[in-house]
Structure 1
Amino acid sequence: MIDIREILVRIFSAIFLSMCTGSCMFVFWMALRKIFADRIYPKVYDVILKIVLIAYYVPAGYLLVNIFFDNGYVFDFTGTIIKAFYAISLFWLAGAIATVLKFGERTFRIRREKERCFPCKMYVQKIFEDCKRELGIRRSIEVLQGYRIQIPMTAGILKPCVFLPVEDMEEEQLKTCIYHELTHYKKHDIFWNYIACLMVCIHWYCPWIRTVFRKNDEWSEVICDLSTIGYVGSAKRYFTTIFEMSQKSQGIKAYRAACLFESQDSLEQRIYYAMMYRKQKKIKYAAVIAMTVIFCGMSVTSTLAAGKGYQKAYTKWVQETEVEIEEPDDEEEERISYEEKTGVLGNDKSESIKKINLKKFKKMNTMTFKNQIKNGKRLRYKGLVAKQNENIELTIGSQKKCKYIKAGIMDSQNKVRYIQDRGTDLIRYQFRIKEGGKYDVFIEMEGMKKMKISGMIAIND
């Protein structure tokens, strides 16, 4: 049976950790862009920024926590946790729906505008086809004009279309606009624009997510500028056209499209990079390598830190909000006697290996755990060091009878000592250590599909 509570916990953990990973990488991108601003061609920054966009979809931190940092408490839930996640889910869903509707309305608005547009004049279509041929584009792309279209723009992934204003433009000006919009198509900017839109919809709660979205737009324009200037031949003539178009660009953000002009703020940056990198004859590969190594190193480190921090915070939350069930303090309570057996640990089961991390508690070194064990699987806890005549105490509890569980220890010589449960909901046993050294603790189950267990591993005299 699917547990909706566990699904909620894992979904929001993955969303949050992917946001942390993407945000850390974006901060590093901003910092390194300033350091290497005049050393590396902007296309490198554009490629890395696309990787940052993808990072917002990849829950690398979640996978690290789930595979390497899980100590039994991570992704468990108490009454307090599940109430919090229900509230968070409703709040997140409301914001996500509102953001989707906002972007969706802009997408459908451009579709409505397409219905109002009409085919361009023959000479415009001829120039358009000539520009396509020069850019090496073979796909059929519509070019339309409309009275409500203020500046040239490109829209559509499956059915791309270039929109032009109705007013007549000089041939050079027209070519400049067409080159720019076709470059957007050639670079798949509409696709990446939608990827960025979906990123904002998922992580709308992140205060700087729209800055990431805006930077993606800006760098797409920078790369388009550098490419288009090469075809136009004159940076002055190219930016003069943009300035003229900027006077007609009011309300352009109402559409979900790639446009010739974005904003006055980004235009200054576009001119700066166009002037700087048209003079740059070759990329300094040493700077590219240095930037790549630094970026990758800092990204991996931040992902590890975010995952580990989340694991510690979540574990503490579980421990502080779980309800402890008091057991009756009865010294004469009937105790279950177990027959200790010896044997060999078989290789017929897949293992989930975890590291033992003992902490001092009431004069004992202890570690608590919570986990789910499946049929034919083995949980193995490694790294336990016990001295001669000490006891390794195992306590295992479950809401169901534990009659399918086998638990024990294995020394460094691979000698195994174990007990088989007696059909109770609590197993408690002490293994007396005759020879000091390193030991592993293992728990196996056969006969049930899966079972949630919790317990304690302790060393006492």
Structure 2
Amino acid sequence: MKWINDVVFAILAAHVWGSLMLFVWLQAVKKLSKRGYSRALFWLLRCVVVAYLLPFGFCLLIAVDGYFRGWDGRLFEWTPIITVVNHALFIAWLIGLFFNFGKIWKEWRVTRAYLRDAFPADLKSRARFREVCKEIKKRPGRVKLYQKFGLRCGIATGILRPRIVLPDDKLNPIVEKVTMIHELIHYKRRDLWFLYASKIIETIHWFNPLSRSLSEYMNQWNEYACDYESCIAFGNSKMYAIVLCNVAEQNQQGLFSSIGTEPMTLSRRIEMMVNMQKARKKSKFFGTIAAIAVSFASVTSTFAATGVMAEGYRRLYDLTMVEDVEKGVSAVVGDTDLVNESTDTPEYPDNSNINPADYVNTGIVFNDVLPIDGYTVVEGEVDNLTRATGANFNWTLTYDYLQTSGYFKVNKDQVINVSGDITPLGKVIRVGIIEPNGARRCVYANGRFSQPFQAYVKGDYKVYAISDNSEVVNLTGVYATY
């Protein structure tokens, strides 16, 4: 369950940095929202969403990559205190996650049930939709136009199957055009993607008071920024505001979509449009540079924040470190009996002071501690041996050469069986495995041999051979894991 360590770290890294970015955004809203810089604030809010998701996704990718590389599914060292704290935090987080996930599930089910009886729009409506797309120079892409009985205003929904759903009643041509423009812009900017992402963040970070309103902020600023682009596309801000007033009382509450013309926020939306219209008369240089700067800063600094969290984690490890549980090596106690009791790996004799001829083909495994300084290391072919759980090899061994296979993944308690033929007869070589920590285990063999090696930890292993003979020795064999 060491992966719990990574999950807790990723959530905490995202929590710290995302909350900081959200706090900065809230302060920027107070200073800039009335000055017409809605687009910069809108993109900054999207950066906040990225700031929440990047550390979690970044750590997740490393953990998955580590799993396939045969590490052990963890990013950082752990101690008993860290383990207890992480498991307690993980259980509490998991309980809250299930409770809060129900909210998203309920909204999704309500939307799906409400739109179940929507049907494709008639030919005339689709023709008008194509004309609108051509007029505002925005291609509809994969979006489909639907209609529904009883719907009171248009909505946009769906990510994999995007749809714009219009009321089945005959709409005023201006209202229909404004609705199509507005919803098409939502689709082209992927507003629903970020709205869903903000809801996921609320679910993951349910313990964070700041993030609980993230989807509400995203929904509002989706509308503010969409209003700005819709006014430009429609070409008449006053008429656009009148349409908003006409449909203000017809909002579909509780639907899992980005549209929302709530009466309580209508005055705010009109105020934002007025501010944006005033800002259009000013230079757009500051707004463009600000949006680019905050986007770049949030992405790059998110990775930096992961490094800051990692440093804090290492300090916590130093404070709570008593022993290296994985290796069973005491950090403060030098008693070898305690060391041997804390590990599952049996003790093997080393080959520092033995006569190799006495142990040829006996099956006795040694810790290969003989120095290999100055040896030439020759690795196996990457295309054939890397990641393979079994492969053939044909090696030519000369003196002061260390020949190895490529890395291959082995799980804990698996067995690596190495067998082969050594020629010429009578020549003794060392054959064995290199463990993930770099330690070597070997047997002494000549002629035909077969030797199993037990794997005590999960990770990347190699098969190796060393000849201490003055003449060339050939080794043809195979290794396999089971």
Taking structure 1 as the reference length, the TM-score comes to 0.61
Match of 2:220 among 218, 221, 224: 218
Match of 1:28 among 14, 19, 24: 24
Return the alpha-carbon distance in structure 2 between the equivalents of residues 10 and 76 of structure 1: 10
What secondary structure sits across from 1:255 in the alignment? coil
Q: CA deviation at 1:17?
A: 0.6
- Deviation string, structure 1 residues 47-97 (Cα, Å, up to 9, x no partner): 33222212212228987xx9xxxxxxx943344433333333232223223
Return the alpha-carbon distance in structure 2 between the equivalents of residues 199 and 51 of structure 1: 13
Return the alpha-carbon distance in structure 2 between the equivalents of residues 32 and 146 of structure 1: 40
2:319 aligned partner: 316
2:285 aligned partner: 285
- Deviation string, structure 1 residues 325-361 (Cα, Å, up to 9, x no partner): 8667xxxxxxxxx99x999799979xxxxxxxxxxxx
1:259 aligned partner: 259
Residue 112 of structure 1 pairs with residue 108 of structure 2: no
Return closer, same or farther for 1:286/1:240 CA change in 2, 3 Å cut-off: closer
Return the alpha-carbon distance in structure 2 between the equivalents of residues 172 and 61 of structure 1: 44
1:191 aligned partner: 193
Q: CA deviation at 1:180?
A: 0.8
What secondary structure sits across from 2:116 in the alignment? helix
Q: Contact 1:76–1:318 (CA<8 Å) still a contact in 2?
A: no
Q: What amino acid is aligned across from residue 47 of structure 1 in structure 2? A: W
- Deviation string, structure 1 residues 96-140 (Cα, Å, up to 9, x no partner): 233333213322332222322344455434332322332322435
Return the alpha-carbon distance in structure 2 between the equivalents of residues 255 and 77 of structure 1: 44
- Deviation string, structure 1 residues 285-342 (Cα, Å, up to 9, x no partner): 356546765786687376655444444345435569x9998667xxxxxxxxx99x99
Return the alpha-carbon distance in structure 2 between the equivalents of residues 246 and 139 of structure 1: 29
2:397 aligned partner: none
Count the aligned residue pairs.
Answer: 344
1:84 aligned partner: 85
1:17 aligned partner: 13
The 5 A counterparts of 1:209-358 are 209-249=211-251, 252-262=252-262, 264-265=264-265, 267-279=266-278, 280-281=280-281, 283-286=283-286, 289=289, 300=301, 305-318=308-321
Q: Contact 2:78–2:317 (CA<8 Å) still a contact in 1?
A: no
- Deviation string, structure 1 residues 242-283 (Cα, Å, up to 9, x no partner): 22322122xx34221121415623x34422321122232454
Range with greater deviation from structure 2 (154-163 or 140-149)? 140-149
1:400 aligned partner: none
Q: What amino acid is aligned across from residue 149 of structure 1 in structure 2? A: L
Return closer, same or farther for 1:240/1:163 CA change in 2, 3 Å cut-off: same
Q: What amino acid is aligned across from residue 250 of structure 2 in structure 1? A: K
Return the alpha-carbon distance in structure 1 between the equivalents of residues 36 and 320 of structure 2: 45
Return closer, same or farther for 1:286/1:325 CA change in 2, 3 Å cut-off: closer
Return the alpha-carbon distance in structure 1 between the equivalents of residues 41 and 8 of structure 2: 30
What secondary structure sits across from 1:162 in the alignment? strand
Return the alpha-carbon distance in structure 1 between the equivalents of residues 235 and 315 of structure 2: 58
1:149 aligned partner: 151
- Deviation string, structure 1 residues 215-266 (Cα, Å, up to 9, x no partner): 22222111210111123333232222222322122xx34221121415623x
Return the alpha-carbon distance in structure 2 between the equivalents of residues 119 and 451 of structure 1: 58
Return closer, same or farther for 1:230/1:326 CA change in 2, 3 Å cut-off: closer
Q: What amino acid is aligned across from residue 110 of structure 2 in structure 1? A: R
Q: CA deviation at 1:25?
A: 1.9
Q: Contact 1:61–1:303 (CA<8 Å) still a contact in 2?
A: no
1:371 aligned partner: none
Q: What amino acid is aligned across from residue 205 of structure 2 in structure 1? A: H
Return the alpha-carbon distance in structure 1 between the equivalents of residues 141 and 277 of structure 2: 29
Return closer, same or farther for 1:291/1:236 CA change in 2, 3 Å cut-off: closer
Q: What amino acid is aligned across from residue 178 of structure 1 in structure 2? A: M
1:131 aligned partner: 132
1:51 aligned partner: 47
Return the alpha-carbon distance in structure 2 between the equivalents of residues 99 and 186 of structure 1: 30
What secondary structure sits across from 2:271 in the alignment? helix
The 5 A counterparts of 1:387-398 are none
Return the alpha-carbon distance in structure 1 between the equivalents of residues 99 and 283 of structure 2: 43
Return closer, same or farther for 1:198/1:347 CA change in 2, 3 Å cut-off: farther
In angstroms, what is the RMSD of aligned CA positions? Answer: 4.3
Asked which structure has the greater RCO (Cα within 8 Å, sep 6+), the reply is: 1
Return the alpha-carbon distance in structure 1 between the equivalents of residues 109 and 221 of structure 2: 25
What secondary structure sits across from 2:166 in the alignment? strand
Return the alpha-carbon distance in structure 2 between the equivalents of residues 149 and 318 of structure 1: 62
The 5 A counterparts of 1:168-207 are 168-207=170-209
Q: Contact 2:222–2:258 (CA<8 Å) still a contact in 1?
A: no
What secondary structure sits across from 1:84 in the alignment? helix
Q: What amino acid is aligned across from residue 256 of structure 2 in structure 1? A: R
Q: Contact 2:157–2:256 (CA<8 Å) still a contact in 1?
A: yes
Return the alpha-carbon distance in structure 2 between the equivalents of residues 151 and 18 of structure 1: 37
Sequence identity of aligned pairs in percent? Answer: 22
Q: CA deviation at 1:172?
A: 0.9
Q: What amino acid is aligned across from residue 272 of structure 1 in structure 2? A: E
Taking structure 2 as the reference length, the TM-score comes to 0.58
Return closer, same or farther for 1:62/1:307 CA change in 2, 3 Å cut-off: farther
Return closer, same or farther for 1:308/1:185 CA change in 2, 3 Å cut-off: same
Return closer, same or farther for 1:115/1:35 CA change in 2, 3 Å cut-off: closer
Return the alpha-carbon distance in structure 2 between the equivalents of residues 296 and 122 of structure 1: 44
Return the alpha-carbon distance in structure 2 between the equivalents of residues 40 and 275 of structure 1: 8
Return the alpha-carbon distance in structure 1 between the equivalents of residues 268 and 294 of structure 2: 25
Return the alpha-carbon distance in structure 1 between the equivalents of residues 200 and 296 of structure 2: 25
Q: Contact 2:82–2:317 (CA<8 Å) still a contact in 1?
A: no
Q: Contact 2:129–2:180 (CA<8 Å) still a contact in 1?
A: yes
Return the alpha-carbon distance in structure 2 between the equivalents of residues 287 and 165 of structure 1: 37
Q: What amino acid is aligned across from residue 50 of structure 2 in structure 1? A: I
Return the alpha-carbon distance in structure 2 between the equivalents of residues 28 and 450 of structure 1: 49
Q: What amino acid is aligned across from residue 274 of structure 2 in structure 1? A: M
What secondary structure sits across from 2:250 in the alignment? coil
Return closer, same or farther for 1:53/1:174 CA change in 2, 3 Å cut-off: same
Q: Contact 1:17–1:62 (CA<8 Å) still a contact in 2?
A: no
- Deviation string, structure 1 residues 356-414 (Cα, Å, up to 9, x no partner): xxxxxxxxxxxxxxxxxxx99xxxxxxxxxxxxxxxxxxxxxxxxxxxxxxxxxxxxxx
Q: What amino acid is aligned across from residue 170 of structure 2 in structure 1? A: D
Q: CA deviation at 1:175?
A: 1.2
What secondary structure sits across from 1:206 in the alignment? coil
Return the alpha-carbon distance in structure 1 between the equivalents of residues 214 and 162 of structure 2: 25
